[in-house]
Amino acid sequence: MMLTISMAKCISATKNGSFKTSDLKLANPLTYDDMVFLSEYLRRTPLTDLELSLYVTEENLRGLIELSKVISKNNQLTRLKFAIEGSEIHLRSRDNLIFSVMNYFSNRQVRAMYHLIYDALVNMVKGKPLLSQLVVDLEPIETPASTSQSYRFAKNLQKSPLLHTLDLNFAVEKNANLPILDKTNPNTTLVDLRLRGMSFGKDVLHSLKQTHGLRILMLDDMLFEASDISLLDHILKSNTCLMLLTMTNTNIGQIASPQLINSLKHCSKLAYLDLSRNNLSRLNIDELCTYLAHNPENLLELDLTHNAYMADDAHKLAQALTHTKQIEKLIIDYNYIENEGVQSIIELLKSNRQITSISMSHNCRYGLSNDTINALCSFLKDPECQLEELNFVQKTTIDQFKMLGDAIMANSSLVTVNLNFHTDTIFGIIYKIQIQEHIDGLEPLIDRFFKQIKTTDPEPLLEAQSPVKEHIPLKEDLFSVQKTDKKNEPIENELYSPQLN
């Protein structure tokens, strides 16, 4: 047998009914024999918490099915995590006509191998009445789950009524049915729901209509239709305790969705709102500003990264956030707000002292104007400046960077700073060190160097002594006498020095 694990390693990775493959601390992927050995160990070990993170190879894939069958027989699991960290199996490109035929048959084998992974997932979640937390991350898998696999997986989940955390990250085929929750009975146990990569899954939103206790809802990398907006509106209205809402990498920017933004007002406890990468633009900025102008009482953070907002949109956003009392962090990176929009955000920071963290980077395609730099520098030098975190990576000249650096070193509130430090120049590197020393509250390195020179006691210099002359006695001398210089020789030496007859 080709084993890289042992009984001792498996026992050390088992603690209080919990087993994690990451605690095996392996340098290489598990082999087929490892999978067989692990299956037998898990079959004999009572577990309630299992975390299985694997690097898939053609060899160990054969043992994954056996392992999944063992996991399916454990009906005491309360927490299960299944993640693919990487894979040596990949689809080949068919762009090259010469190799397209060979790649076609190779890709068929790859799809068949990926099919086994989804079958293993379906087996793992079978018969889990006590399951309360499920995390599935199959992002490296390059093919989606089939329609039948998606449906069987969802039906198995319906038999786990105690689920309060559900995190799914894998692709499904177009028009695949994915009723992850029972549509007939209200669900009040599910608190944390995160769905990623399920762009074509049907029945997902329909089943979420029954949720009433969600506090975290994440929908990432999904394509919605116009008919889905009313379903999302119903979900937000039903889950009034929602605290974190993330809708990223979607197409809601292309859909007329005022109803969706307006439904946010029903989530009175919403503290974190992430609408990044949705291609939001002036088509839907008014609805968002209307929501923000009503002063959401618990909203702390707003993320609008990677959208298509312009300078006018930034001005409207700044006006809407002026009187928002609770917001502390605003992220508006990678928008086309240019100098006028950046200046509007700076004015917002002056008027709303609750905002302690601002991130506006890569907003000016043609570089910042000196007026914008001066406005930001004057705000940073203000003794009442409240900023603790500043992310401002923009196209700047060396002179503009120096102005920003001087303003930051005159500021006493900043804790974190990220700029375009011009590290391709010696000046930029030195100035970055000085800025970081100021942020960290350290004494400047140059001042410390000179202070050390001044406080170090110099070593005393040795006094110069007169050279000593030696007298080489002659053969006829009766006594060998060594004489020194008369200037340094005491007078009494002359009186008592031996005399020759």
- pLDDT at residue 452, rounded to an integer: 58
Q: Answer yes or no: are the C-beta atoms of 405 and 434 closer than 8 Å.
A: yes
Helix, strand, coil abundance in the chain, percent, nearest 5 = 35, 15, 45
* pTM of the complete model: 0.84
Q: What is the gyration radius of the CA atoms in the chain, in angstroms?
A: 36
In degrees rounded to 5, what are phi and psi of residue 381?
-80, -10
Q: Is 459 exposed, middle or buried (0-12, 13-18, 19+ CB in 10 A)?
A: exposed
Q: Which residues contact 486 (CB under 8 A, 6 or more apart)?
A: none
Separation between Cα atoms, residue 304 and residue 333, nearest integer Å: 7
Separation between Cα atoms, residue 238 and residue 209, nearest integer Å: 8
Q: Name residue, tokens 């790859």.
A: 110
Look up residue 331 and give its two tokens: 């992220």
3-class DSSP assignment, residue 91:
coil
User: Residue 307 to residues 181, 232, 260, 346, 363: CA-CA distances in angstroms?
Assistant: 32, 21, 17, 19, 11
- pLDDT at residue 500, rounded to an integer: 34
Question: Which amino acid would we find at residue 88?
Answer: E
- pLDDT at residue 453, rounded to an integer: 54
Give the orientation angle of helix 338-351 with respect to helix 311-321, to 10 degrees.
10
Q: What is the DSSP letter of 431?
A: H
Separation between Cα atoms, residue 318 and residue 339, nearest integer Å: 14
Q: Answer yes or no: are the C-beta atoms of 138 and 172 closer than 8 Å.
A: no
Separation between Cα atoms, residue 155 and residue 283, nearest integer Å: 39
DSSP labels, 470-496: -----TT-SS------TTTS-HHHHHH
Q: Answer yes or no: are the C-beta atoms of 52 and 81 closer than 8 Å.
A: yes
Give the orientation angle of helix 370-381 with respect to helix 398-409, to 10 degrees.
10
* Nearest Cα to Cα of residue 138 among 190, 196, 93: 196
- pLDDT at residue 392, rounded to an integer: 97
- The residues pairing with 202 across neighbouring beta strands, listed in sequence order, are 177
User: Residue 223 to residues 227, 249, 361, 478: CA-CA distances in angstroms?
Assistant: 12, 8, 27, 119
Q: Answer yes or no: are the C-beta atoms of 112 and 80 closer than 8 Å.
A: no
Question: Which H helix or E strand runs over 216?
Answer: strand 216-222
- pLDDT at residue 497, rounded to an integer: 40
Tens-of-pLDDT digits for all 501 residues of the chain? 578 899 999 999 999 999 999 999 888 999 999 999 999 999 999 999 999 999 999 999 989 999 999 999 999 999 999 999 999 988 877 666 556 666 766 788 889 999 999 999 999 999 999 999 999 999 999 999 999 999 999 999 999 999 999 999 999 988 888 889 888 888 999 999 999 988 766 678 888 988 999 999 999 998 888 888 889 999 999 999 999 999 999 999 988 678 888 899 999 999 999 999 999 999 889 999 999 999 999 999 999 999 999 999 999 999 999 989 899 999 999 999 999 999 999 999 999 999 999 999 999 998 899 999 999 999 999 999 999 999 999 999 999 999 999 999 999 999 999 999 998 899 889 989 999 999 988 666 555 554 555 555 555 545 545 454 445 454 444 444 444 444 444 444 443 343 333
Q: Answer yes or no: are the C-beta atoms of 77 and 50 closer than 8 Å.
A: yes
Q: What is the DSSP letter of 253?
A: T
Separation between Cα atoms, residue 80 and residue 135, nearest integer Å: 6
Separation between Cα atoms, residue 167 and residue 182, nearest integer Å: 17
Separation between Cα atoms, residue 349 and residue 269, nearest integer Å: 24
Look up residue 46 and give its two tokens: 């009572």
Q: Answer yes or no: are the C-beta atoms of 133 and 164 closer than 8 Å.
A: yes
Domain ranges (residues) in the chain = 1-93+105-143, 165-270
Separation between Cα atoms, residue 36 and residue 27, nearest integer Å: 19
